[in-house]
Amino acid sequence: MLKLFTSTAYVSHHVTPAIRIRSSPVKSPLLNALTQLTGWNRSSHELGRRAFSSDSEGSDTNSSAIVSKPNLNDCLTLLALPLPHKPLIPGFYMPIYVKDPKLLAALQECRRQQAPYAGAFLLKDDASTDSSSSSETEEILEKLKGKELLNRIHEIGTLAQISSIQGEQVILVGRRRLKITEMVSEDPLTVKVDHLKDKPYDRDDDVIKATYFEVMSTVRDVLRTTSLWRDQVQTYTQHIGDFNYQKLADFGTGISGANKHQNQRILEELDVHNRLDLTLEVVKKEVQINNIQKTIAKTVEDKFSGEKRRILLKEQLAAIKKELDVETDSKSAFSEKFRERIEPNKDKIPKHVLKVIEEELTKLQLLEASSSEYDVTCNYLDWLTMLPWGKFSDENFDVPRAEKILDEDHYGLSDVKERILEFIAVGGLRGTSQGKIICLCGPPGVGKTSIGRSIARALDRKFFRFSVGGLSDVAEIKGHRRTYIGAMPGKMVQCLKSLGTENPLVLIDEIDKLGVRCQAGDPASAMLELLDPEQNANFLDHYLDVTIDLSKVLFVCTANMIDTIPRPLLDRMEVITLSGYITDEKKHIARDYLEKTARRDCGVKPEQVDVSDAALLSLIENYCREAGVRNLHKHIEKIYRKIALKLVRKGASAQVPAISDTKSLAKTDLESPETSAEESKTEQSGAVAETVENFMIDESNLSDYVGKPIFQAEKIYEQTPVGVVMGLAWTSMGGSTLYIETTFVEEGKDKGGLHITGQLGDVMKESAEIAHTVARRIMLEKEPKNHFFANSKLHLHVPAGATPKDGPSAGCTMITSLLSLAMKKPVRKDLAMTGEVTLTGRILPIGGVKEKTIAARRSQVKVIVFPEANRRDFEELAENVKEGLDIHFVDKYEQILELAFGYDKSVTWFHPLRKFLG
């Protein structure tokens, strides 16, 4: 819920509250002493300061307007903000991050209502948080709500002014001490508070005075040894006013390195003398630490003074050589090279990156060229300066041009092309195509990667592809830390450097096969930061250690199935499904795309080979049945490679003269040189002409080039056996048909049972059990005297037992197979069905309608049964896929019976069913 912006110390400058200070013209002794120490003149800063009085009840002012603020004593009901690391000391400010949207909205509402105050309370330690990391503490804070959060925070805290809110960052300024009295509301946590006042004390008491002056002296020692806090004095006095006993104690606590328990103890102490004693203890410890630090620094400095002197002399020698033009300084050459890279785009490079580059260039000049850190710094600067900061390629949102490119590169896929054109059209209206993550999902070989390339070509974006299949090391995405040997940035930084533009199209391949979480990190979480448009504007690579903007990158992902994609990633993607190609589409793709590519790659001329349509059709049906065309491309290349080999062999044999040609050769030698040359040319051209042969590839000789068929033609039974029914299945390679077979094993009273084989998964096993139950119920209702299922042991098998099978779409096929055996009646030979059946006989929808329809057409099936809920999916298919099919949509199993078995007078229970079906 909250995240500290800094945990090293409190800071009280860079805050912009516009509240007027009531200052006294008389300086306190400490302020006089500190003025001499820091050289700060209060009057010189009087006009330009931005300050507030810790207990001011007057009006707040700024340079442009006077805004009325409420009396601090009226702030009795406040939002409670838990602080995980340190309490907020009055007079200091603390930046925090508020992750809870409700709490952030409540804080913004307080600002709008001119009551910008909240209560800041330190989180208590327990067994779970005592040794937890910062991120784990933040996760615990996000889960704490209401009374649970109230019990986990200290009851004494600080009234905090909400100085500013920028996004999730809220700057709090401590004002005075508070104590929680009761809870008002739980989410966000709101409490009633009492304002605590210090206990009365005698200002002229000698002991208190002595303690005050000792604290003041010790604070001066801290400021003298630590320059970090010198500017803090003037800022604190601007905000708080002159030091008194209470404010000196708070100031000393704030600048000390005390832990949160000591700070909370001082915050809860209302006795001023005791508070000064506690403050004296922590600032004394700070002085001791500073003295130890100085001793260590002096020891190290003395130890390396000789080395420093040698380095200094070496630098002076290099400078002298450079002035005399004796040799070029390698450091200066490197620095000059890096500066030349950034100079043309210096205005476009982010300021935080420029700052890091300048710091590294300065560091490079101080390092020894032979040191290992020198090489690390050079490599780091090389990456920083080579990135295309502010460089973008011009996008092209011409929809007709994009449509032409997609049609050139791909055949069919009209629905996918239409969605991509919609995406480009929206980008043209918006002026940019960022903010979307497209996920192309489909079987292997359907053209997912090539569609990504086509999108890049249509948009005139540069293209970069990397695969995350099996990736488990987060460093591949977010880079290595520079402390490791051989460290490199992640893939995205490498992509930007190699392409030279900040808006490429990046294709992330096989995202459904992303590695699992392990010791090397969680790649899915790293990928989420990379892809999410809300996060990648400030993507942090571990190697660069500076944020880079990836919001202009267009990400296209590919996957074979979306079930294995992590849900947070999937929620941010727009999935476009590529179902695969039917036989006609494959034939056009092979003729218009694959054959031309294979011919060109093998160096064969078009007139030398003629592949018939029957050969292509046989190649598709008997060798390459998968949904994609990658395997089809391999087989066509195989044909052309064999033809290329035959052409080369024929050409080589034609160049070798035969023994029978000796007479002609002798005759040529006796004739004149001119005649011999002309006849030789004529004979050679004739020999070459004879070698140019046209190869005809048809169905009869196809096996000579690609071997025996892999698949046998899926033919339906001439007469379907009893107990055998054709079902439709979906696989990652596309659709297929499969027969479900049931046979009788043995009969005996009360021996009814079902044995299942075929390497079925848990879902299909459950479907078989449900099918057995539903079939028994139907027979019992329609023919009570038929005890076939009660007394018969049956065996249900799904062929291709070596192939694992699972899925929720075989229920109706199994019921029909069981009833066919019970009735001793075969089903229609040209019927295939798919759908899951519940115990009540209701048909549930299934997936893969297109793939299953294509599989049915390939098996010459004419009648298909689909669930009624899939009617819309079927109507969206192309007309050439639906052509010639008799489709029946059912929502109850009883509607399948007459389709499967037809009307039969011998089966008495068909009569009312026929009447029911009309």
- Between 57 and 399, the more confident residue is 399
DSSP string covering 45-93:
GTTT-----TT--S-EE-SS-EE----GGG--EEEEEEESS-PPPTT-E
Is 231 in the same domain as 377?
Answer: no
pLDDT tens digit sequence for 506-563: 999 999 888 777 776 788 888 888 888 788 888 888 998 898 888 888 899 999 888 8
Tokens (6 digits) for 686: 């004739």
- Asked whether residue 208 carries a pLDDT value surpassing 90, the answer given is no
Residues 6+ apart with CB under 8 A from 548: 387, 492, 493, 496, 539, 540, 541
Is 74 in the same domain as 117?
Answer: yes
- Between 261 and 43, the more confident residue is 261
- CATH number of 93's domain: 2.30.130.40
pLDDT of residue 324: 67
Binding-site residues: 442-449
**What is the distance between the terminal CA atoms of the chain, rounded to a whole angstrom?**
64
pLDDT of residue 132: 54
Return the ∠ at Cα 810 (arms to 808 and 816), rounded to 5°: 145
In a domain, 186, yes or no: yes
In a domain, 322, yes or no: no
pLDDT of residue 168: 85
- pLDDT band, residue 229 (cuts 50/70/90): low
In a domain, 318, yes or no: no
Q: Give the number of domains in the chain.
A: 5
Of residues 809, 817, 820, 859, which has the active-site annotation? 809
Please state the rounded mean pLDDT for residues 259-277: 86
Please state the rounded mean pLDDT for residues 665-669: 36
Is 197 a known active-site residue?
A: no
pLDDT of residue 668: 34
- Asked whether residue 637 carries a pLDDT value surpassing 90, the answer given is yes
- pLDDT band, residue 661 (cuts 50/70/90): very low
SS (H, E, C) 274-316: HHHHHHHHHHHHHHHHHHHHHHHHHHHHHHCHHHHHHHHHHHH
Within 13 Å, how many C-alpha atoms sit on residue 232's CB side? Answer: 25
Is 164 in the same domain as 276?
Answer: yes
Please state the rounded mean pLDDT for residues 33-43: 44
- pLDDT band, residue 743 (cuts 50/70/90): very high
- Between 298 and 666, the more confident residue is 298
Is 569 in the same domain as 670?
Answer: no
pLDDT tens digit sequence for 415-469: 788 888 888 888 888 877 666 788 998 888 888 888 989 989 988 889 999 888 8
- Asked whether residue 13 carries a pLDDT value surpassing 50, the answer given is no
- Asked whether residue 742 carries a pLDDT value surpassing 90, the answer given is yes
Tokens (6 digits) for 567: 């849900």
In a domain, 302, yes or no: no
pLDDT of residue 683: 45
Is 429 in the same domain as 448?
Answer: yes
Of residues 3, 247, 491, 852, which has the active-site annotation? 852
pLDDT of residue 322: 67
Residues 6+ apart with CB under 8 A from 717: 724, 829
Residue with tokens 């294709």: 507
What percentage of residues in the chain have a pLDDT greater than 70?
79
Please state the rounded mean pLDDT for residues 204-224: 82
- CATH number of 872's domain: 3.30.230.10
Is 337 in the same domain as 417?
Answer: no
Among 716, 904, 723, which residue's Cα sits nearest to residue 824? 723
Give the domain range for residue 506.
399-577
In a domain, 30, yes or no: yes
pLDDT of residue 558: 92
Task: Tell me how far apart the alpha carbons of residues 209 and 294 are, in angstroms, rounded to a whole number.
Answer: 31
pLDDT tens digit sequence for 153-191: 888 999 988 888 888 888 888 888 898 988 888 888 888
Which range of 139-153, 297-311, 412-426 scores highest in mean pLDDT? It is: 412-426
- Between 341 and 41, the more confident residue is 341
Q: Which of 552, 577, 602 is the last residue of a domain?
A: 577
Among 64, 96, 265, 212, which residue's Cα sits nearest to residue 165? 96
pLDDT of residue 652: 64
Q: Which of 673, 706, 739 is the last residue of a domain?
A: 706
In a domain, 25, yes or no: yes
- pLDDT band, residue 818 (cuts 50/70/90): very high
- Asked whether residue 52 carries a pLDDT value surpassing 70, the answer given is no
Task: Tell me how far apart the alpha carbons of residues 691 and 524 are, in angstroms, rounded to a whole number.
Answer: 59
Is 793 a known active-site residue?
A: no
Q: What is the mean pLDDT of the chain?
A: 78
Is 356 in the same domain as 438?
Answer: no
Please state the rounded mean pLDDT for residues 848-876: 86
Tokens (6 digits) for 656: 């070798």
Q: Which of 405-428 are b and which e, b meaning 16 or more Cβ less than 10 Å from the residue's Cβ?
A: bbeebbbbbeebbeebbebbeebb
pLDDT of residue 100: 83
- CATH number of 453's domain: 3.40.50.300
Is 567 in the same domain as 590?
Answer: no
Binding-site residues for ATP: 442-449
In a domain, 292, yes or no: no
- Between 807 and 836, the more confident residue is 836
Task: Tell me how far apart the alpha carbons of residues 179 and 196 are, in angstroms, rounded to a whole number.
Answer: 7
pLDDT of residue 794: 92
- Asked whether residue 639 carries a pLDDT value surpassing 90, the answer given is yes
Bridge-partner residues for 469, per DSSP?
Answer: 514
Is 862 in the same domain as 832?
Answer: yes
- pLDDT band, residue 210 (cuts 50/70/90): confident
Task: Tell me how far apart the alpha carbons of residues 861 and 886 are, in angstroms, rounded to a whole number.
Answer: 9
Is 560 in the same domain as 623?
Answer: no
- CATH number of 656's domain: 1.10.8.60
Tokens (6 digits) for 28: 């306190």
pLDDT of residue 689: 41
In a domain, 323, yes or no: no
**Distance of CA 870 to CAs 190, 265, 849, 873, 889, Å?**
52, 69, 8, 5, 8
- Asked whether residue 715 carries a pLDDT value surpassing 80, the answer given is no
Range in 92-101, 152-161, 361-370, 659-668 with the lowest mean pLDDT: 659-668
Is 412 in the same domain as 496?
Answer: yes
Please state the rounded mean pLDDT for residues 224-249: 66
Is 81 in the same domain as 196?
Answer: yes
